[in-house]
Amino acid sequence: MADDPLPGRDRLRELIDAVLDEDNRTLTDMAGDAHASPWHFTRQVGRGAGEPPVALRRRVLLERAAWQLSSGASVTEVAFAAGYESVEGFARAFARAYGRSPGTADDRCRRTRDEHWLPAPNGIHFHPPTSLWVAAEAGRGGTDEVTALLVHHDVEDTRALLETAGQLPDGEYRRTRVPGWSVLPWDGPEESVAAVLDTLVWTKEVWVASIEGAASPARGADDPVALLDRHDAVAPRWLAAVRDVDRRGAWGDRLVDALCEPPQTFVLGSVVAHVLTFSAHRRLLARHLLRDAGLAVDTGDPIDWLTRRDR
Q: For residue 279, give the CATH number of its domain.
A: 1.20.120.450
For 220-276, write each residue's pLDDT tens digit: 999 999 999 999 999 999 988 888 888 778 888 877 665 555 556 788 889 999 999
First to last CA, the chain: 47
Within a domain: 128: no
Considering the domain boundaries, does residue 5 fall inside one?
Answer: no
> Where a domain ends, among 72, 87, 122?
122
pLDDT at position 117: 80
- Tell me the β-bridge partners of 264: 257
Would 134 be classed as within a structural domain? Answer: no
Q: What confidence tens digit (pLDDT) does each residue in 262-307 have?
A: 556 788 889 999 999 999 999 999 999 999 999 999 999 999 888 8
Instruction: Assess whether pLDDT exceeds 60 at residue 137.
Output: no
Clarify whether residues 201 and 262 are in a common domain. Answer: yes
Cα gap 111→68, rounded to integer Å:
9
Model confidence over 187-231: pLDDT tens digits? 999 999 999 999 999 999 999 988 887 777 889 999 999 999 999
Write the burial class of residue 245 (CB in 10 Å: 0-12 exposed, 13-18 middle, 19+ buried).
buried
Q: Is 44 in the same domain as 187?
A: no
CA–CA separation, 6 and 29 (whole Å): 22
Residues 15 and 85 in one domain: yes
Taking the C-alpha atoms of residue 46 and residue 300, their distance in angstroms, rounded to an integer, is 52
Same domain as 76, residue 24: yes
Phi and psi at residue 260, to the nearest 5°: -75, 155
In a 13 Å sphere around the CA of 233, the CA atoms on its Cβ side amount to: 13
275 and 159, same domain (yes or no): yes
Residue 132 placed within a domain: no
The pLDDT confidence band at residue 180, using thresholds 50, 70 and 90, is very high
**Which residue stretches of 213-253 are H helix?**
224-247
The pLDDT, as a whole number, for residue 171 is: 96
pLDDT value for 109: 41
Q: Note the pLDDT of residue 211.
A: 84
Q: What is the model's pLDDT at position 110?
A: 45
| Statement to judge: residues 157 and 279 lie in one domain | yes
Q: Could you tell me if residue 133 is inside a domain?
A: no
Three-state secondary structure string covering 62-105: HHHHHHHHHCCCCHHHHHHHCCCCCHHHHHHHHHHHHCCCCCCH
In sequence order, the 6+-apart residues with CB closer than 8 A to the CB of 137 are: 1, 123, 252
Residues 65 and 171 grouped into a single domain: no
Q: What's the pLDDT at 288?
A: 96
Of 5-9, 48-52, 148-152, give the range with the top mean pLDDT. Answer: 148-152
Residues of the chain with pLDDT > 90: what percent? Answer: 34
What's residue 310's pLDDT? 61
Q: What confidence score (pLDDT) does residue 266 get?
A: 81
DSSP state of 180: T
Asked if the model's pLDDT at residue 140 lies above 70, the reply is no
Q: Measuring CA to CA, which residue among 60, 58, 105 is closest to residue 84?
A: 58
Overall number of domains in the chain = 2
Whether 26 and 117 map to the same domain: the answer is yes
* Residue 116 and residue 249 in one domain: no
Half-sphere exposure of 46 (CA within 13 A, CB side): 11
Is 36 part of any domain? yes
Those residues whose C-beta lies under 8 Å from the C-beta of residue 77, and which sit 6 or more positions away, are 68
20: confidence class by pLDDT, cuts 50, 70, 90 = confident
Q: Is 237 a member of any domain?
A: yes
Segments forming the whole domain that contains residue 150: 145-310
Query: Per the domain annotation, does 135 fall within a domain?
Result: no
Is 8's pLDDT higher than 60?
no
Last residue of a domain, one of 71, 91, 122: 122
Segment 86-99 shows an average pLDDT of 90
* Same domain for 297 and 161: yes
Name the residue with higher pLDDT: 25 or 228.
228
Cβ neighbours around 204 below 10 Å, total = 23
What is the average pLDDT score of the chain?
83
Of the segments 62-71, 106-115, 230-239, 283-292, which one has the largest average pLDDT value? Answer: 283-292
